[in-house]
């Protein structure tokens, strides 16, 4: 079986990232560090994750995915360079009587990324593939089905004005898009987490509960630069340092759908979700 061209484009980016890391001191390179220093934007629905949410109109949204660091220079402190991989599947189920949950859409993504984080500034470059498909529970499948497949190269700059707040912004381009469309995109957002400064200092804490607020805005040329909006507010339950955490969040999303087969559709919905990981 010949690998898809999109997959080859993304995977071919890995040697380039590793060559950048090789420019640093060889003894400083660590393979598969246990934690990431670069955290993905929490409110961005396109980022890989693990969890599920109950959406308006009896919809179940489930995500199965993870992002991990392949390697890092240094020990996770300020200014370390990091390279990683990620992947995720996003499933959208409708709900019928007698515990029947037809699969409406399924979107898959994977990517490679590199970046660094200092005391207040950080950056990330990510090349990713995204494809969207109709599930066998969708209505009028043959009439509605399209080929939706895209590769995106995006860059984000992160700024921490204070130990509890992180802001980010940056452009992105479709390297290839099917259906063909305009390439330019821009993203900005932020996260308010009272525990952020404590996590960065690696202070040992017992099990704890912390509130968080996150928002993400995305403007795409293909939508006339109309703003897609995502908001998350909730609590983060964490145990031992470096371990997994559980997030419970109330969300609101509005704009053109981020699901590939529905990308022309305008959506607005409230959700209540549970997420796992950091």
> What's the pLDDT tens digit per position in 9-51?
555 555 555 555 555 545 578 888 877 878 889 999 999 999 9
Asked if pLDDT for residue 1 goes beyond 50, the answer is: no
Please give the model's pTM, rounded to 2 decimal places.
0.83
- The rounded distance, in Å, linking the Cα atoms of 180 and 187 is 21
The residues spanned by each domain of the chain are 5-276
- The rounded distance, in Å, linking the Cα atoms of 167 and 187 is 11
Sign, Cα dihedral of 76, 82, 87, 93: positive
pLDDT at position 32 is 87
Reported as a single tens digit per residue, the pLDDT across 160-192 is 998 889 999 999 999 999 999 999 999 999 999
Asked if pLDDT for residue 3 goes beyond 60, the answer is: no
Mean of pLDDT over the chain: 84
Q: Which CATH architecture has domain 5-276?
A: Beta Barrel (2.40)
Reported as a single tens digit per residue, the pLDDT across 91-144 is 999 887 777 788 889 999 999 999 998 888 999 999 999 999 988 766 666 657
Residues 6+ apart with CB under 8 A from 79: 116, 117, 118
């Amino acid at each position: 079986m010949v690998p898809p061209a999109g997959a080859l484009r993304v995977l071919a980016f890995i040697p380039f990232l590793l060559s950048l890391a090789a420019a640093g001191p060889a003894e400083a390179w660590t393979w598969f560090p246990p934690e990431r220093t670069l955290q993905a934007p929490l409110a961005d629905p396109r980022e890989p994750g693990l969890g599920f949410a109950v959406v308006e109109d009896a919809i179940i949204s489930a995500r199965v995915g993870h992002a991990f660091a392949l390697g890092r220079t240094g020990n996770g402190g300020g200014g370390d360079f990091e390279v990683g991989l990620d992947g995720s599947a996003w499933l959208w189920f409708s709900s019928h009587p007698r515990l029947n949950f037809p699969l409406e859409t399924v979107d898959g993504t994977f990517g490679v990324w590199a970046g660094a984080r200092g005391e207040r500034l950080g950056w990330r470059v990510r090349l990713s593939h995204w494809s969207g498909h109709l599930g066998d529970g969708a209505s009028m499948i043959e009439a509605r089905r399209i080929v939706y497949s895209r590769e995106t190269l995006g860059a984000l700059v992160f700024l921490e004005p204070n130990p509890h707040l992180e802001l980010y912004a940056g452009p992105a381009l479709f390297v290839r898009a099917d259906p063909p469309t305009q390439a330019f995109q821009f993203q900005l957002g932020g996260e308010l987490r009272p525990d952020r400064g404590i996590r960065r200092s690696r202070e040992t804490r017992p099990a704890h509960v912390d509130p968080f607020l996150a928002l993400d805005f995305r403007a795409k040329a293909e939508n006339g630069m109309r703003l897609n909006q995502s908001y998350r507010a909730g609590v983060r339950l964490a145990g031992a340092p470096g371990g997994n955490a559980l997030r419970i969040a109330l969300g609101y999303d509005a704009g053109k759908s981020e699901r590939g087969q529905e990308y022309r559709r305008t959506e607005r919905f409230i959700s209540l979700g549970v997420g796992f990981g950091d």
